Amino acid sequence: MTMINLKIKDNLSISLLLSPLAFDRISCLCILVKIILESKINTYKLGGWMDSIKRVYRYGNGSAEGKAEMKNLLGGKGANLAEMNLIGVPVPPGFTITTDVCTEYNKLGEEKTKEILLAEVKGAIEYIESLTGTKFGSSENPLLVSVRSGARASMPGMMDTILNLGLNESAVAGLVKKTNNPRFVWDSYRRFVQMYGDVVLGLKPVSKEDEDPFEVIIHKVKAEKGVKEDLQLTTEDLQKLVVLFKKAVKDNTGNDFPDDPWEQLWGAVFAVFNSWNNDRAKYYRALNNIPEEWGTAVNVQAMVFGNMGETSATGVAFTRDAATGENLFTGEYLINAQGEDVVAGIRTPQQITLTGSQRWAELAGVSEDDRISRYPSLEEAMSEVFRQLVDIQEKLENHYKDMQDLEFTIQDGKLWLLQTRNGKRTGAAMVKIAMDLLREGKIDEKTALLRMEPNKLDELLHPVFNNQALAKAKVIAKGLPASPGAATGQIVFFADEAEEWAAQGEKVILCRIETSPEDLRGMNVAKGILTARGGMTSHAAVVARGMGKCCVSGAGTIVIDYKARKMTVDDKVYKEGEWISLNGSTGQVLEGKIETQIPEMCGDFEKIMELAEKYTQMSVRTNADTPNDAQVARNFGAKGIGLTRTEHMFFEGDRIMAMREMILADDEDGRRKALDKILPLQRRDFEGIFTAMDGFPVTIRLLDPPLHEFLPHEDTNQFEMAKEMGIELQNVKEKVSSLHEQNPMLGHRGCRLGITYPEITEIQARAIIEAALNVKKIGIKAVPEIMIPLIGTVKEFTMQEEIIRNVAETVFAERGDRIEYQVGTMIEIPRAALTADLIAESAEFFSYGTNDLTQMTFGYSRDDAGKFLTVYLQKGILKNDPFQILDQEGVGQLVRIGNERGRKTRPNLKIGICGEHGGEPSSVEFCHSVGMNYVSCSPFRVPIARVAAAQAAIKNPR
Ligand code: ADP
Ligand code: MG
Ligand code: MG
């Protein structure tokens, strides 16, 4: 054996242990090792040595090393600053330190990162110096810079920015001499010390209750002078502020405020990297599904000054109205101001356009004279710059082909752009802007569709809060955003009282610890539903979504006391009859009455749906249990019903009695007696649904009642049942307790019920077939698909199928007429997916019941998972709640296996999904990719699923 040492660099060598035989191959091996290493070096960062990685990208004066497509590396802000240079928009020169460095920094720490960045950053600063004719650290002609964060996805205001960096006493003196504008210089300096103190030196208060120490000082100085506005502070006042600010820094940190511009710069760079992990940013990422590992870039950019006097200004603008989508340039600005002044609410910002200004004045109750003298538009105040800004906004929108959100600054009459990005917008604006851009010929149909954030379409379907009213409201608790929409009403705790109040014209919010079928009527009349317990698939949540009704579920901090008719949150008591409001889109519970409005259903919404229809390769069906639901879904464009839960038909009214009677019956006779009451009711429902779906398929699932949901638990209900069935109360009680299951979700339900009590399957099959024949007589085409639930073995399926087909033939013979129908199954037990090839020998269609499939694949009880799922999400064990977003990695495999094996046996097997996931965009995309024929979701999610399905087809045609 021979040991060979290959020395690559001082701190890296590779040892090879070689047998003599291999010795003659060493030269070969060496070359191989060299090649491998060289190629690795380009992809991996091995510490700081010998790498050729570019970490800093410069831009300025119309050229740039980066471009818009490099958002992943440069962050959105950095990529667009580069791009704006490339298309001739005036942008102060600067450079971007990449997002990769943020990741490196998190591993290597400050010292090492500084070492690997030093040369590039120095070079880039020199580059800015050469373009601006200034010098970083000079006392005669100092270069000042801003240090700005900027992640891949825009996270407005979540991370930190520092302006006017590079100032110290001597630079201040030099700048005063150069500009002859001491007030501007001292204003810049006090802003810098404040921002640097807050962001880098950690003086920014952590909690909302604490005040910013610098703001406290400003208030004090203003109060002493008896002035209100920052602008009223003189140069001397500003000088005094700087002294007091620096003292605050010393008092708080024990250190002097840093004077060395390089020390300032590094401090700021690392503070921006650190701000990626501040609480605000983390929360925002969690909310918007932005991955932790992306990191932020750092942008260092030459300052331009909007605070140089009356010919300077700063502002923000949108190329179109972000609330309505109207094609109207809008925005706000302030003269003699800097940075975030416009959005900080210190001064009343002015409107950019004259039209906007006049509209604003009317809303704000400002007279035209007042408006002109105190709040003139930019169009009036600086007409030449305004015209340039109009040209630039048009240029940017045409370039990016989307509505832009801009930040700009005017320094002494010269316009500079500091940021552009695709603007955030409401659901209504999203639709209108995409359709307008399509009509203007700027984007094509596919792009218009891809511009949709499907979930946002929801806003177009439910009442919404008035924004101003919402901003003023107090949040008292937070639960799950179970069913979107806005609801405001008086608190009631009982379903029957909800009905009574509603009958008298009151608006009520039904507040329950959790809901059960008995609450259904109360839920139906309530404006919204609030529960203290339960998840996204709890009874309250599922039913509310089906109804398109606002619901916040599982608001755990709320303690409900039914007896005392009150609920308590953090010691504050809310009694029956008091007003509260729910935001079903955010899960917020708010105090008091908040004005709501019906969102306008504009024609563009329909047009987007037509486009979706044109490109989709899956159809969208709905989950509907009543003719009314079916009709609503038809109006939203559903192409059939993917799931009718027959037991849901029995939540209502007297029907629950018949259902309970059947469950409580001692023997087949008793069950048949109860079933005879059920038959006509079901038949009528089916007739209604077939009629609403005229010609479209209707999948009807045979009874799958979680028994515990139907049993009468309360004394009054038990008494009622005893009377109805003519038996003793004690009998009912015994029966209820004998039916009690330890684990009802895995208990006597689904086809297991039909296997033990075949008469249930018989009666249901009869109701379906008779209904279909009945509507046929009046010219309506029924296409029933009878679905057997909870199949785990093929035998279960064939036994149930036999009953159904026998009944069908009997009814056909009785009526002397027939119809086409199919018998298929729900795939919701892992074993069913694994044995899909066998099941498909008999089953004519599959429908994935992904709620149960998820429950059984993970082994998480849907009803109890709330307790630990939040912890699992926080700890990163799971990325998403698998009951909301289909787990493609695990559950998805079962779906793939089921499809493959099923279609191997029966190539034309019809496959769909009917779990809650059928209306969730990323899950819909998955369903497309595995070749499903349709997805089915609750009526109000139909438009969302339609757009998501079309997007999937555009991205990945099959
Ligand atoms: P955010 O990401 O929170 O929007 P920014 O990095 O955009 O933060 O900075 C906030 C504001 O600071 C900008 O809107 C702009 O007004 C101001 N600003 C940033 N850099 C400069 C600069 N180089 N010159 C003048 N103003 C700047
Ligand atoms: Mg910004
Ligand atoms: Mg199920």
For the segment 640-683, what is each residue's pLDDT rounded down to a tens digit? 999 999 887 777 667 788 888 888 888 999 999 999 998 999 99
Which ligand 1 atom is nearest residue 419's CA? 7
Q: Ligand 2 centroid to 289 CA: how many Å?
A: 21
> Whose Cα sits closest to atom 16 in ligand 1?
339
CA-CA distances (angstroms) from residue 868 to 429, 542, 742, 864?
38, 20, 20, 8
Burial class (CB in 10 A: 0-12, 13-18, 19+), 274: buried
Q: Is the CB of 301 under 6 A from ligand 1?
A: yes
d(CA 576, CA 508): 10
Catalytic position from the list 551, 914, 927, 937: 914
**Cα–ligand 1 centroid distance for 608 (angstroms):** 36
Count of C-beta atoms within a 10 Å radius of residue 37: 16
Helix (H) or strand (E) holding 417, with range, is: strand 414-422
Nearest residue (by CA) to ligand 1, atom 26, is 339
Alpha-carbon span 189 to 128, nearest angstrom: 21
Four-CA torsion 287, 288, 294, 298, nearest 10 degrees: -90
C-alpha 811/C-alpha 803 separation (Å) is 12
For residue 150, the ligand closest to its alpha carbon is 1
Amino acid at 136: F
Helices (H), 88-157: 99-108, 110-132
Ligand 1 contact, 419 CB (< 6 A): yes
Q: Return d(Cα 507, Cα 523) in angstroms, integer.
A: 12
| Residue whose CB lies within 8 A of the most ligand 1 atoms, among 336, 409, 424, for a mutation test | 409
- What's the pLDDT score for residue 663? 87
836-858 pLDDT, tens per residue?
Answer: 999 999 999 999 999 999 999 99
- Does 148 contact ligand 1 (Cβ within 6 A)? yes
d(CA 502, CA 513): 21
Residues in the chain: 958
Residue 17 CB: number of other CB atoms within 10 A?
Answer: 9
Give the nearest ligand 1 atom to 316 CA. Answer: 14
Q: How many CB atoms lie within 10 A of CB 820?
A: 9
> Strand pairing of 822-827 and 579-583?
unpaired
pLDDT of residue 167: 97
| Contact in structure between 146 and 300 (CB atoms under 8 Å) | yes
Give residue 41's pLDDT.
Answer: 45
Q: Which residue matches tokens 């752009």?
A: 417
CA of 154 to the centre of ligand 1 (A): 14
Tell me the β-bridge partners of 847: 826, 912
Pairing, β 350-351 against β 94-97: unpaired
Residue 424 Cα distances to 275, 321, 649, 944, angstroms:
22, 10, 42, 19
CA of 459 to the centre of ligand 2 (A): 26
Query: Whose alpha carbon is nearest atom 10 of ligand 1?
Result: 339
* pTM tops 0.85: no
Closest CA to 515 of 651, 635, 650: 651
Nearest protein Cα to ligand 1, atom 12 = 339
- For residue 144 and ligand 1, the question of a CB distance below 6 A is answered with no
Residue 660 is encoded by which pair of tokens?
A: 């309970």
Ligand 1 atom closest to 338 (CA):
16
Of the listed 539, 648, 917, 928, which one is catalytic? 539
The first and second tokens of residue 204, run together, are: 């920014």
In the prediction, which pLDDT does 5 show? Answer: 53
578 CB near ligand 1 (under 6 Å): no
Ligand 1 within 6 A of CB of 433 = no
Q: What is the pLDDT of residues 279-333, one digit of tens each?
A: 778 877 876 778 888 999 999 999 999 999 999 999 999 999 887 789 999 989 9
Our answer to whether residue 539 is catalytic in this structure is yes
pLDDT of amino acid 481: 80
Q: What is the pLDDT of residue 706?
A: 74
Q: What is the pLDDT of residue 208?
A: 53
What CA–CA distance (Å, rounded) separates 752 from 750?
Answer: 5
pLDDT < 70 regions, the chain: 1-51, 156-158, 207-209, 287, 343-346, 363, 536-537, 546, 548, 598-602, 652-653
Q: What is the Cα 13 distance to its own chain's centre?
A: 49
What number does the ligand 1 atom closest to the CA of 148 have? 6
Ligand 1 atom, smallest distance to 302 CA:
23
Structure tokens belonging to residue 470: 């919402």
Q: How far is the CA of 416 from the centre of ligand 1 (A)?
A: 11
Expressed in angstroms and rounded, the spacing between residue 304 Cα and the centre of ligand 1 is 10
Q: Is the CB of 341 under 6 A from ligand 1?
A: no
pLDDT digits (tens, 9 = 90+) for 791-841: 999 999 999 999 999 999 999 999 999 999 999 999 999 999 999 999 999
Q: How far apart are CA 692 and CA 782, in angstroms?
A: 10
Ligand 1 centroid to 141 CA: how many Å?
A: 22
Please report the pLDDT score of residue 943 as a whole number.
94
Residues with Cβ–ion distance below 5 A, ligand 3: 828, 849, 852
Beta bridge partners of 488: 581
- 399 catalytic? Reply is no
Tokens coding 455: 């979930």
Ligand nearest to the CA of 825: 3
Distances in whole angstroms, Cα of residue 521 to Cα of each of 418, 488, 538, 702: 56, 18, 17, 23
